[in-house]
Amino acid sequence: MNQTNTQGLDGVIAGETAIASVGKGHGLKYRGYDIYDLAKGASYEEVAYLLHFGKLPYKVNYQFYISTLKDKRLICEGLRHILEQIPATAHPMDVLKTGISFLGCVEPEKSDFSNQNECIERILAALPAILMYWYHYANHGHQISLDSNQKTIAAYFLEKLHRCEPNLEHVEALNSSLILYAEHEFNASTFASRVTASTLSDIYSAITTGIGVLGGPLHGGANEAAMDLITSYNTPEEAKEGIVKKLEANDKIMGFGHRVYKKCDPRNVVIKEIAKALSVGHKEEKLYYISEAIEKTMWDEKKLFPNLDFYSASAYHYMGIPTSFFTPIFVISRVAGWAAHVKEQRANNRLIRPNASYTGPEEKSFTPLSERGE
């Protein structure tokens, strides 16, 4: 095996999956369904069900699933106490990680994994509640009610964020975005969740792993960095000039290119449409045109295409979502993929334990501290 090629496991096949096909030159599919059709025609909950159970739900399954998730939103007093200890200065990703880790302390998965589906539903439902309870408490001292009649995670998220009935166009947009982010084969966070599952560790550990890995700026953090970039320019012309300068200085521009995709990100067309639709008539409509100018400049100068993160940034901004929530939304979505991969890993498990090429000193003789000098 060519040693150089395995750095970062680039191009190395690390296992099998039946959950998503990606980067085969024909778009992205979840269990055979095209991502475009799902993002346009399904709810995030239908997609989570598809990922976890291998098929789309019938109406009766769907109603039951929706109602189960709704019932599992409320969090216990102990968890609320914990969230109240976390200051507003913390990154929401660390809040989610701490909250899910604590849930694993008080509502553990059984060691035979016989309640894995129940735990997965609990985590899916609790994540938005954890985020919103902490957010309002840390920033305004409000102990908000986590109850709601909203049926979907997208609607619940926006209701609890803005504390009012959510705008339906925003709910639909967020729902599509959750679908786009839900699953992406052996990306770093999913792969690390599978490594966690491969020691037969519990689902909460696999999900905290996923959150921790996703938080890095080379992974989930990219959409927050894209927002910072876009808002740093006042006009499309300024953006073009700024990007050219950054490229000359070899600065990394977040939200462009992809390890797996070489020509375009099949998810971009959907999120770009959404960002454009939300921009119309918005007081910051220009952000969309600034984004387009950055996209064009990156293509003209570097032949690099925007990935899902890039237009997600302005889309979320138009929904009034704080930038620090962009990666947490990625968690709220991708948790569906992580959990599906944990189930798949468990169904045909083999410990994931690679080898390393040793490059250090061969042999050194040990001298005790007392003889080692000052």
Residues marked active site are found at 219, 258, 309
CA 57 to chain centre: 23
- When asked if residue 367 is in the footprint of its own copies (CB under 8 A), the reply is yes
* Residue 250 binds to its own copies (criterion: CB under 8 A): no
Report 346-365 residues binding its own copies (CB under 8 A): 350-365
- Nearer to its own copies (CB atom), residue 16 or residue 248: 16
Select from 51, 80, 64, 313 the least CA-distant residue to 177.
Answer: 313
Options 64, 67, 85, 300; binder of its own copies; rule CB under 8 A: 85
- By CB under 8 A, the count of residues binding its own copies is 114
Query: Would you give the distance in Å from CA 79 to the centre of its chain?
Result: 22
H helix or E strand, kind and range, residue 33: strand 33-34
Q: Indicate the pairing of strand 33-34 with strand 29-30.
A: antiparallel
In whole angstroms, the minimum distance from the beta carbon of 237 to its own copies comes to: 30
3-class state of residue 171 by DSSP: helix
For the segment 60-79, give every residue that binds its own copies (CB under 8 A): 60, 62, 78-79
Residue 105 and residue 124: Cα distance in Å, rounded? 17
CB 193 within 8 A of CB 206: yes
**Dihedral, CA of residue 257, residue 259, residue 260 and residue 262, to nearest 10:** 40
Under rule CB under 8 A, residue 13 binds its own copies: yes
Judged by CB, which is closer to its own copies: 281, or 354?
354
Instruction: Identify the residue among 221, 236, 255, 337 touching its own copies (CB under 8 A).
Output: 221
Instruction: Kindly write out the interface string for residues 88-127 of this chain, putting x where it contacts its own copies by CB under 8 A and - elsewhere.
Output: --xx--xx-xx--xx-xxx-x--x----------------
Q: Does 259 bind its own copies (CB under 8 A)?
A: yes
**Residue 368 in contact with its own copies, rule: CB under 8 A:** yes
**What residues have CB less than 8 Å from 255, skipping those under 6 apart?**
222, 223, 225, 226, 229, 306, 307, 309, 310, 313
State which of positions 295-354 bind its own copies (CB under 8 A).
350-354
Is 9 or 244 the residue whose CB approaches its own copies more closely? 9
Residue 201 interacts with its own copies (CB under 8 A): yes or no: yes
Q: Give the whole-angstrom CA distance, residue 110 versus residue 212.
A: 23
Q: According to CB under 8 A, which residues from 178 to 197 bind its own copies?
A: 185-189, 191-192, 195-197
Q: Give the DSSP H or E segment for 6.
A: none
Q: Does 1 bind its own copies (CB under 8 A)?
A: yes
Q: Is residue 213 classed exposed, middle or buried when 0-12, 13-18 and 19+ CB atoms within 10 A define those classes?
A: buried
